[in-house]
Amino acid sequence: QVQLVQSGAEVKKPGASVKVSCKASGYTFTSYYMHWVRQAPGQGLDWMGIINPSGGFTNYAQKFQGRVTMTWDTSTSTVYMELSSLRSEDTAVYYCARAMLITTHLFDYWGQGTLVTVSS
Amino acid sequence: DIVMTQSPDSLAVSLGERATINCKSSQSVLYSSNNKNYLAWYQQKPGQPPKLLIYWASTRESGVPDRFSGSGSGTDFTLTISGLQAEDVAVYYCQQYYTTPDTFGQGTKLEI
């Protein structure tokens, strides 16, 4: 069965960077795009960007441009999301979400989420 | 960016009754070339990631009970839950995927 397993919670200081991983299993890793979506405590969903693990195409939301980098490792079926210059407003649960094949911006499977806390 | 606005922010419905959640987009999400509305609904229970319920405004995802239905076109959409069950308590989000960035509504909290 499809599974997306994310790395554990992180606590970072303002100005630092964080790198969250998302290990996929149960399907052909390179056949599906992957998204990252974040959710601040008690808030709604905020789309961050998309990566194609076959070829490396990425598209980031403008609000994260220059601070976010999405990468992948085919050998381990893992995608990564790195966010730099962290500020307190980046405190959130970060989710990876697999895109459906019928259209690349619908999410059919999600990781369990990774809580990133930014605090001095 | 397309702004998605849901109403109400929260609602309480009795077991077995009908719940209706509305979603309005700041511009049309109907793609004329294929006549599809690029609008989805997700359900999120506490401590869990969202779950896809409905896409193309009215197509139920596999495994989603038929008490969940979606309707609407253009800029105005509705999620209806008929015969509310206790396990339907959750926050519901609409999402437009007509254009990037994908944007979500602020969420509607459904309580019994």
Q: Within the 27-46 window of chain A, which residues sit less than 8 Å (CB to CB) from chain B? A: 35, 44-46
Tokens read off for A116: 């990133």
The 3-state secondary structure of A10-41 reads EEECCCCCEEEEEEEECCCHHHCCEEEEEECC
Which of A117, A4, A81, A62 shows the shortest CA–CA distance to B50?
Answer: A4
- A-chain CB neighbours of B106 within 8 Å are 44
Which of B19, B25, B17 shows the shortest CA–CA distance to B43?
Answer: B19
Contacts of B91 (CB under 8 A, 6+ apart): B43, B44, B45, B107, B108, B109, B110
Give me the pLDDT at residue A46, please.
96
- A-chain CB neighbours of B100 within 8 Å are 47, 50, 59, 61, 105
Q: What are phi and psi of A74, to 5 degrees?
A: -65, -35
Q: Are A78 and A21 in contact (CB under 8 A)?
A: yes
Round to whole Å and give the CA distance between B75 and B88.
Answer: 25
CB contact under 8 A, A59 and B55: no
What separation, in Å, do the N-terminal and C-terminal C-alpha atoms of chain B show? 34
What is the pLDDT confidence band of residue B65, given thresholds at 50, 70 and 90?
A: very high
Which of A1, A71, A9, A2 shows the shortest CA–CA distance to A36?
Answer: A71
pLDDT digits (tens, 9 = 90+) for B20-38: 999 999 999 999 999 999 9
Q: Are A32 and A20 in contact (CB under 8 A)?
A: no
B55 touches chain A (CB under 8 A): yes
Mean pLDDT of B61-82: 96
Nearest to B107 among A44, A61, A105 (CB): A44
Q: Which residue of A has its CA nearest to B50?
A: A110
The pLDDT mean for chain A works out to: 95
